[in-house]
Structure formats: structure tokens, C-alpha cells
Amino acid sequence: MERKTYTARLINKLLLSESAQCFHLEFEVPELEKFSFDAGQFVSMVAIDGLGKHQTRAYSIASAPRSNRFDLCVNRVEGGFFSNLLCDLEPDAKVEFHGPHGLFVLRPPLMDTILIATGTGVAPMRGFVEHLFPSRTEDRSEGKHFWLIYGTRYQSEIYYRQYFEKIAAEHPNFHYIPALSRPHDGWTGLRGYVQTHVKDVLKDHPEMVPEHTPGGPANNSRPQLRAYICGLNEMVSANRDQLKELGWDRKQIHFERYD
Ligand SMILES: Cc1cc2nc3c(=O)[nH]c(=O)nc-3n(C[C@H](O)[C@H](O)[C@H](O)COP(=O)(O)OP(=O)(O)OC[C@H]3O[C@@H](n4cnc5c(N)ncnc54)[C@H](O)[C@@H]3O)c2cc1C
């Protein structure tokens, strides 16, 4: 079946990190009044390369639905075709895409949730947070707790830090936990890989770890928890394995892999 392809027009571009060459790109879809999707889904961008070959790459939508617009968070991959094409776009430039696609969406019913991301894996998390804690309409978090554990190498690569800090300051049920794997000397925040901090959050909230009966399977009498993980495969696998070792059921763990 032929997919419906749309044209997106870049309306705003912000440099999120000079060192990581990461950009926040805001698009509109002029032919649509409303671009409908669920927070966390991705679009497939389409272009023809220098050899005349069609190239398609997935990019998570970094915003909640709003009129005919959507945002992306893209970093340059050295020698990469599509990431550089997108990062080089200037306002008013157009690019083709199809979508929305994907099942990385908040599943009902809402539960206390750990959001785990590294690098541009924060994109769908920004979509979730915008959906749950909108600035202009009513809060959709239903009083559930959301921990965003975000890992990156350097302080200059903590994308959307001010936004998440503001949401955390305004909503006692949103907890923002950035951690650096290669912190500079003066960094007073958390260090190390996200897995360590996931474990710490769970340690502080024993009610989130299913009870084990000695010698028996996990007693999932408290399955009111979920985890959403997004980033490169190695990090996603490490976190899935850790949660499973802690007794989480695979149905509680949702993930999106970028590679
Ligand atoms: C569901 C999904 C959602 C995604 N969302 C985003 C997003 O929100 N933001 C974003 O920036 N990317 C995202 N990606 C990754 C994106 O689709 C591309 O893979 C990435 O931009 C590289 O494409 P490219 O054409 O520039 O590189 P290519 O020309 O495909 O590859 C060039 C070289 O870089 C390597 N490479 C490919 N991807 C990466 C990577 N991510 N990191 C390091 N090396 C890599 C390749 O192995 C190859 O050697 C997502 C991927 C998936 C599957």
C-alpha cells in the first residue's frame, strides 16, 4: 500500500548543544489543519541522496500534539546522511515525511512511571511530559509520579534542562534526574550511568519493586508501575535487564531503540 507522504516546513530552529551539534527543530505541516499523533510516536523523514536513492530515517516527535505542528530533537551523526540534512535545514526549508508511526506511547491506565533516556532519546520523553503537564490546559498526570532519569556525557549536552526543571518546580509529582557520565570538576549533580540512578529511585521507593517470595516467582501484587526507555540499544538492554532482575514483568517495560 502506498503511504501518504506529507511536506513539513521548518518554522524554527534552536541549537540545543554546540558540542553535540544537537538541534531542536519545529515543523508545521501546511496541508493539514491538525497533525494527529500520540506523544512518543515517531515520523519517518524521506529524502533522495546524492546517488538518487530514497533514504528514510525515523525521528521521535519531541512534542505533544499541537495544531499542525511537531518538533524534533536531532543530533549530527558524523558522516551520516539524514541527521546532517536535518541539522543543516534553515527556516522555511521543506522536507517530506510519513507517519506518525510507532507504539512507544503512554499506555492506559496511567501508573507511577520511570522515564529513562540518554542523548536524543529524551525526544519522546519531552513529548510525554508536554502531554502530561501542559502549560495551557489541565494537568493530565492524574497525580501519578513520573521520574525522568536522563543520562548524557557532559553538562553542555543536557537537552531541554530548563524546561524539565521548570516542570519539576511546578509539579511535585514530576521528578527530573539528570546524570553525567563524564562530569567536569565543578559538577555537583549526579554522576555515572542511568542504571545506577534507576536503582536509587527504586531503593528510595521500595513500593515500586515487586516482592519476591523466597524460591518462588516475583509476586506481582503491586504492578502499578511502568518504565519507558529510549536511546541506543546498549543502554536500553542494560536497563531492561536490570528491571527484570529486580522482578519487573516485561509488560511493564516499554522501549524504543535508535540503533
Ligand atoms: C524509532 C527511532 C526514532 C529515532 N529518533 C531519533 C531522534 O529523535 N533523534 C535523533 O537524532 N535520532 C533518532 N533516531 C536515529 C535516526 O533514525 C538515524 O539513525 C540517525 O539520525 C542517523 O542517521 P544518518 O542518516 O545521519 O546516519 P546514517 O547515514 O544512517 O549512518 C552513518 C553512520 O552512523 C552510524 N549511526 C547511525 N545512527 C547512529 C546514532 N544514532 N548514533 C551514532 N552513530 C549512528 C551508522 O552505523 C553509520 O556508520 C531514531 C531512530 C529510530 C529507529
Ligand 1: which of 83, 159, 160 to mutate, judged by most atoms within 8 Å of the beta carbon? Answer: 83
b/e for 25-59, b at 16 or more Cβ within 10 A? bbbbbeeeeebebbbbbbbbbbbeeeeeeeeebbb
pLDDT in tens, 202-248: 888 766 666 554 444 455 544 589 999 999 999 999 999 999 999 99
Whole-number pLDDT of residue 216: 45
In this structure, the residue with its CA closest to atom 32 of ligand 1 is: 80
First to last CA, the chain: 26
Span from the CA of 151 to the centroid of ligand 1 (angstroms): 18
Please give the Cα distance from 231 to 172 (Å, whole number).
Answer: 26
Range(s) of the chain covered by CATH 3.40.50.80: 112-257
Q: State pLDDT tens for residues 40-49.
A: 999 999 999 9
Gap from CA of 74 to ligand 1 centroid (Å): 9
111-155 pLDDT tens trace: 999 999 999 999 999 999 999 999 999 999 999 999 999 999 999
Q: Using the mean position of ligand 1's atoms as its centre, give its distance from the Cα of residue 99 in Å.
A: 17
Q: In angstroms, rounded to a whole number, what is the distance separating the alpha carbons of residues 215 and 250?
A: 20
Distance CA 186, CA 36 (A): 44
| 128: helix, strand or coil | helix
104 Cα nearest atom in ligand 1: 1
pTM of the shown model: 0.94
Q: What percent of the chain has pLDDT over 90?
A: 86
Query: Does residue 259's CB lie within 6 angstroms of at least one atom of ligand 1?
Result: yes
**Domain 112-257 in this protein, CATH class:** alpha beta
Q: What is the CATH number of domain 6-101?
A: 2.40.30.10
pLDDT, position 211: 59
Distance from the alpha carbon of residue 81 to the mean position of ligand 1, in angstroms: 9
| Non-local CB neighbours of 103 within 8 Å, separated by 6+ positions | 254
Q: Determine if ligand 1 sits within 6 Å of the CB of residue 59.
A: yes
CA–CA dist 97, 101 (Å, integer): 11
Query: Grid coordinates representing 225?
Result: 508501575
Is residue 73 within 8 Å of residue 22, measured between CB atoms?
Answer: yes
Q: What is the mean pLDDT of the chain?
A: 93
Instruction: Give start-end residues of each CATH 2.40.30.10 domain in the chain.
Output: 6-101
